Amino acid sequence: MEILVTLDVLKQYKGEKVVKFPPDTLVTKEARMYAVKQGMELYVGERKVYDSDYSNGISSVRAVISVIGEDRVGIIAGISDVLARANVNILDITQTAIEGLFTMIMVVDIADSKISFDELKNQLSCRGEELSVRVDAQREEVFHFMHRI
């Protein structure tokens, strides 16, 4: 019986879906992360071992899109068009144009996006160039981590 299950111990079980250890076994953090990556389920006695949640419970399906540039006709239409084609839902939108400087911020749901986030960013910045504005897209967690305790 292993008292401490480390990464090396777990590697011997590679390929197995469910691995059971006797009660009171300690599983190291590295071993737990390995199990998650390999899709293994670990049990210590009857108790299932979970890996600790990393994300403060924030789901990663939302992104913030910011548009900054000179005000002109068709900026919102142009950006929304890219989003609609990608099946990205707009959750919130706010925009101002003060003395010709246009800023727009959108919160969008990317859970059902048809394209990868990387591709979406590329398409947005291409459209931004056509409209002579700067478009950035970032996952929402950045703002959550920075501005909320």
Partner 1 sequence: MNFTRDEIIETIRMVQAEQLDIRTVTLGISLRDCASSSISAVADKIYGKLMDKGRELVPVALALEKEFGIPIVNKRISVTPIAMVAESCMESNYTPIAQAMDRAAKDLGIDFIGGFSALVQKGFTRGDMNLLNSIPESLALTERVCASVNLATSKAGINMDAVLAMGRIIKEVAELTGGQDGIGAAKLVVFANAPEDNPFMAGAFHGPGEPETAVNVGISGPGVVNTVVSNLPKGADLGEVSEAIKRMAFKITRVGELIGREASRRLGAPFGIIDLSLAPTPAVGDSIANILEAMGLERCGAPGTTAALALLNDAVKKGGAMATSYVGGLSGAFIPVSEDAGMIRAAADGALTLEKLEAMTCVCSVGLDMIAIPGDTSAETIAAIIADEMAIGVMNKKTTAVRIIPAPGKKAGDSVEFGGLLGRAPVMPVSTFDSSVFARRGGQIPPPIQSLTN
SS3 143: helix
Backbone angles phi, psi at 87, to 5 degrees: 60, 40
As a whole number of angstroms, the distance between CA 87 and CA 36 comes to 30
Q: Which is nearer to partner 1, 46 or 59 (CB)?
A: 59
Under a CB-based contact definition with an 8 Å cutoff, are residues 2 and 21 in contact? yes
Residue 114: Cβ-neighbour burial (10 angstroms; 0-12, 13-18, 19+): exposed
Q: Which is nearer to partner 1, 87 or 96 (CB)?
A: 96
Check binding of 132 to partner 1 (CB under 8 A): no
| Least Cβ distance, residue 50 to partner 1 (angstroms) | 14
Check binding of 144 to partner 1 (CB under 8 A): yes
Which residues, 30 to 59, sit near partner 1 by CB under 8 A?
Answer: 30, 33-34, 36-37, 54-55
| Least Cβ distance, residue 46 to partner 1 (angstroms) | 26
Q: How big is the site for partner 1, counted in residues (CB under 8 A)? A: 35
